[in-house]
Amino acid sequence: MMRCIFRLFARSAPTFSEARPPDAASIAALHKASFQRGWGEDEVYRLLVDNTVVAHRSMSGHTMTGFILSRMAAGEAEILSIAVAPRQRGRRLARPLLDLHLRRLAGLGARAVFLEVDEHNAPARALYRRAGFYDVGKRKSYYQSGASALVLRRDLG
Ligand SMILES: CC(C)(COP(=O)(O)OP(=O)(O)OC[C@H]1O[C@@H](n2cnc3c(N)ncnc32)[C@H](O)[C@@H]1OP(=O)(O)O)[C@@H](O)C(=O)NCCC(=O)NCCS
């Protein structure tokens, strides 16, 4: 009985690790569930085999629950996308995923990380603010909805 309970919890506890090309289909599915313009599996695969791209995932057992991808260039990184599965949101999965990712980017030599976020995306803005990102710019009416994009920066190291 105790062993069954232990296994149940062990299976559902989130784990965080590097994402690899075989994860392309799961990442594409999560991306489609999270954004209006979803990425196709081929598009994600091309990113995952690109050696300037850094990718991490959160897993619950064999199920992917979240991902984050960045591109590195000239000592800086840009977060291309981060998403958590809709049913898993609000459980603080994104925080450890982002922390791991930022540590890896710093380890690879990135001195600063940039990203764009919809000004109305409250969960994402809260996530980034808590992780130490600050505003460095605004692109007015950047999204199809008419919303502006905030450009955020986080210094590393
Ligand atoms: C943004 C996203 C990755 C956050 O993932 P998550 O695992 O749900 O995030 P967390 O549970 O760690 O919560 C992050 C913060 O958002 C806050 N938050 C969660 N839901 C919220 C909501 N509906 N409104 C306002 N804040 C909210 C949390 O309280 C937390 O802030 P805190 O630490 O200051 O309390 C997730 O919402 C998502 O996948 N959204 C769709 C894709 C997306 O918008 N990606 C970002 C593109 S820039």
Domain range for 113: 16-155
Q: Measure the CA–CA gap between 56 and 83, rounded to whole angstroms.
A: 11
Q: What is the best residue among 59, 67, 89, 99 to mutate for testing ligand 1's pocket, by most ligand atoms within 8 Å of CB?
A: 89
Is residue 4, in this structure, part of any structural domain at all? no
Is residue 32, in this structure, part of any structural domain at all? yes
Is residue 9, in this structure, part of any structural domain at all? no
User: Contacts from 101-108 at CB under 8 Å and sequence distance 24+?
Assistant: 101/54, 101/56, 101/68, 101/70, 102/131, 102/154, 102/156, 104/18, 104/54, 104/56, 105/54, 105/70, 105/72, 105/77, 105/156, 106/156, 106/157, 108/54, 108/72
Is residue 10, in this structure, part of any structural domain at all? no
Is residue 38, in this structure, part of any structural domain at all? yes
Is residue 2, in this structure, part of any structural domain at all? no
**pLDDT tens digits, 42-99:** 999 999 999 999 999 999 999 999 999 999 999 999 999 999 999 999 999 999 999 9
* Span from the CA of 43 to the centroid of ligand 1 (angstroms): 25
CA distances from 50 to 5, 21, 28, 69, 156 (A): 41, 10, 16, 11, 23
Count of domains observed in the chain: 1
Q: What is the best residue among 69, 91, 92, 97 to mutate for testing ligand 1's pocket, by most ligand atoms within 8 Å of CB?
A: 92
Query: What are 78's strand-pairing partners?
Result: 71, 114
Is residue 150, in this structure, part of any structural domain at all? yes
Question: Closest ligand 1 atom, CA of 115?
Answer: 48
Is residue 45, in this structure, part of any structural domain at all? yes
What is the structure's pLDDT at 2?
58
CATH number of the domain within which 134 lies: 3.40.630.30
What is the structure's pLDDT at 66?
98
| Ligand 1 site, residue 58, Cβ cutoff 6 A | no
Q: Measure the CA–CA gap between 65 and 63, rounded to whole angstroms.
A: 6
**pLDDT tens digits, 4-51:** 554 554 457 899 999 999 999 999 999 999 998 889 999 999 999 999
